[in-house]
Amino acid sequence: MGVVEESEVWEPNKALYLFTLISCFASIYFCPHYSGRAAPTTVFDHAQSSSAFFRFQRSFLLLFSLSSVMEGLGTVFGEYEWEHYYGGVSKEQTLPYVCAGCAASLCIGTFLGVLSDLMGPRNVCLLFYTLHLLVSIFKSFLTHPSLCFTSFCLSLASSIFSFSFEAWMVFEHDKLGQRQDTLNDMFWLMTFIESASFICSQFLGNWLIGGNRDKSILSPYNAAVVLAIICILHVARGFKENPRTASCSDYWISFQTHIFSDKRVWLLSWSQVCVHLSIAVFWVLWAPTIVADGREVQLGLIYPCLMGARMLGSTAVPWLYNGTISLRIEECLIYVLPVMGLLLSVVAYDYQDVGVLLVLFFLFHACVGVVLPSLARLRSMYVPNELRGGMITLSQAPANMVFLLFLVQRGYYRTVANSTIIAFAAFGLFSAAGCMYMLKRPGKQLYQNWHKL
C-alpha cells in the first residue's frame, strides 16, 4: 500500500489583517487627541488651513492614490504574467529585460529629477501617465508586445513616481505659504495612501482576472488605460504649472552650492542610497527566500501584510515627532535604521521557518513606513525645493548601479548568493545610521530654527 504525502500550503493568520487595520485606525484617530502640542496645525485641522491649499490637498491625494493604483497594477503580477502570457518564459529569459529596465532607471531616470526641477514636476507627472498609457495600450492590443519596451517604460515610470509627486506637493505647499506641520503630515499620509493603494491594486487585478486567467490576464491593463486617461485629463484641466525662470547654468550653479558643497546633503544622500537599495533588494528576494527548499506559500496573501505593516509604520510618524515623544528626526532614524539592518541580517542568516520570516518582513516594512516620511522631512530641511527632484534621482543612481551589478552577478554568473546580497543591504543600513549620527550634531541649530516654522 502506497503512502500519499499531502503538501500543506502555508497561509498567514487572517487575524493579522484585522490587527493591522484596527491598529492603523486607532493610531490615526487618537493621535490628534494625545498630541503634545497645544494647537498643532495638522492635516486633520481644516479650519486652520487655507481653502486654496485644502482644495489642492484633496485633489492631490485623490490623484496620488489613483497613480499609486496604476503603479501597482504594472508590477503586482511580475514574473507570473511574463511566464503565463508569453508562453512559458523562464526567469533566465526574463533577466535581460529586467536588467534593461534597471539600466534605463540608471542612465535616464537619474536625470529625470533635474528635468523635473527645470520644467516643473507637473509636466513630469504627465510623462508618468503617458508611459503607463503606452504600456497598457501595447499590452491590450498587441499579441506579443516587446518585453524590452514594456520593461523600459515601466522602469522610467517607477523612477518618476519615486520623486515627482513629492516634489510637486512640496512646491505647491511652499507656493501657498502653509505651515511646516501641514507638510510633515502630508509626507506620512502619502506613504500611508501609497501602501493602501498598492493593496487595492492587487485586489483590483485579482477581481478583473477572476477565474479565467487565459482570457483575462491583461484586464488590469485595460483598467490602467482608463486610470491614465482620467489622471491626464484631471492634471491638464485642474492643475496649472508656474513656468520656471531659472536657466540651466543658474540651476547648475545652485546645485553645486547647495548639494555638492554641503556635507549634510551628502550624508542624507548616502542614507537615501542605502534605504533605496535595501527596499529594492527586499522586493526581488523576499519571495525566493520564503519559498526556499520547495515550500508552498500563498505569496499573494503575504503581500497585503507587508503593505499593511508599512501603513502602520507611517501612522507612527506623527506620534514620534509631534506627539508626547517629540524625537528629532535624525535621532529617531539612528534607532530605526539599525533595527532594519538587524532584521535583514537575520534573514541573511537563512531562517527556515515561514512564520519567523513573516514577522521579520512585517517589522522591516513597519520601519520602512517610518523611514520614508522621515527622509522626506530631512530633505525639506537641507535641500531647496527647486533642487529636490535632482537631488533625489542623483542619490538613487548609486543604488541602481549596485542593484544592476547584483542582478548581473547573481543572474548570469551565479557568483553571489542571495544571502550575501541581503547582508550587503543590511550593512548599508548600518552605515546609514552612522550618517544620521553624524548629521545629528551639526544640524542641531538648523533643526531648531526649521521646527519653529
By the 8 A CB rule, do 56 and 176 touch? yes
CA distance 91 to 85: 14
Give the chain's mean pLDDT.
82
**335 compared with 244, residue with greater pLDDT:** 335
Q: List the beta strands (DSSP E) in 300-453.
A: none
Nearest one of 68, 74, 299 to 205, comparing CA atoms: 74
**9-34 burial, b for 16+ CB within 10 Å, e for fewer?**
ebebeeebeeebeebbeebbeebeee
Residue type, position 123, single letter: N
Homologous superfamily of the 52-245 domain (CATH): MFS general substrate transporter like domains (1.20.1250.20)
pTM for this one? Answer: 0.89
Q: How far is CA 353 from CA 281, 347, 359, in A?
A: 20, 11, 10
Residues of the chain with pLDDT > 90, as a percent, come to: 36
Q: Given this model, what pLDDT does residue 1 score?
A: 37
CA distance 230 to 149: 24
CA distance 305 to 321: 25
Evaluate if residue 240 carries a pLDDT over 90. no
Sign of the alpha-carbon torsion through 349, 352, 353, 358: positive
Start-end of CATH 1.20.1250.20 domains in the chain: 52-245, 248-453
> Quick count: other Cβ atoms within 10 Å of Cβ 35?
17
Q: Given this model, what pLDDT does residue 346 score?
A: 92
65-84 average pLDDT score: 77
- Tally of CA atoms within 13 A in the half-sphere of 313 that contains its CB: 26
Evaluate if residue 4 carries a pLDDT over 60. no
Class of 248-453 in CATH:
mainly alpha
pLDDT band, residue 40 (cuts 50/70/90): very low
pLDDT band, residue 16 (cuts 50/70/90): confident
By the 8 A CB rule, do 119 and 248 touch? no
- The length of the chain in residues reads 453
Evaluate if residue 166 carries a pLDDT over 70. yes
Q: How far is CA 117 from CA 180, 251, 252, 306, 435, in A?
A: 21, 9, 11, 33, 26
pLDDT band, residue 12 (cuts 50/70/90): confident
**93 compared with 20, residue with greater pLDDT:** 20
Task: State the cell numbers at 140.
Answer: 491590450
Q: Given this model, what pLDDT does residue 41 score?
A: 45
pLDDT by residue (tens digit) across 398-412?
A: 999 999 898 888 777
| Lowest-confidence pick of 37-51, 205-219, 357-371 | 37-51
